[in-house]
Amino acid sequence: MVPVRKKQRRSLPVLELSIERRCVRLVKLRGGRILKLQHLKGWPDRLLLYRRQVKLIEFKRPKLGRLSPLQRLTLGWLAENGFDPRVIDNVLDFAALLTELDCNEMDA
C-alpha cells in the first residue's frame, strides 16, 4: 500500500474586507462609530468618529494593497488641509490608532 500524502494547506491571504470588518467591530466595542463612505471614488473607505475626534480611514490588504493614483492625490489633499487620513492594513495598527485617540482625549 502506498502512503497517502496529505496536501499542505496554504494560508489564505488576508482580505481588505476581513480587516475592515474586524476594525468596525473593535471600534463599536470601544463606544465609537465608523461610517462607510460610498460612491466617492478616490476617497477613504471609512469615517471614524471616536472620542470627539474624526479620522478618515483607508483600508488595504497587507503587503498587496496599493493606493491608486487618485487615492494618493486625495489623501495628500486631505493631509495638506489639516486632516489626518490613515491607511490601515492590519487590526493591530487600527487598535494602536484608537489608543492614540484615547490618549489625545486625556490630554485635552
Domain with residue 76: its CATH number is 3.40.1350.10
Please report whether residue 8 resides in a domain: no
Please report whether residue 6 resides in a domain: no
Place of cell 497587507: 62
Predicted pLDDT at 64: 84
Q: 56 forms bridges with which residues in the sheet?
A: 47
Please report whether residue 10 resides in a domain: no
- Expressed as residue numbers, the domain containing 81 is 16-107
Predicted pLDDT at 108: 64
Please report whether residue 1 resides in a domain: no
Predicted pLDDT at 44: 97
Q: Return the higher-pLDDT residue of 65 and 74.
A: 74
Please report whether residue 7 resides in a domain: no
Contacts of 100 (CB under 8 A, 6+ apart): none
Predicted pLDDT at 107: 77
Q: What are the tens digits of pLDDT across the range 50-64?
A: 999 999 999 999 888
Q: Which helix (H) or strand (E) holds 56?
A: strand 53-59
Q: What are the tens digits of pLDDT across the range 7-44?
A: 555 565 678 899 999 999 999 999 999 999 988 899 99
Domain count within the chain:
1
Please report whether residue 9 resides in a domain: no
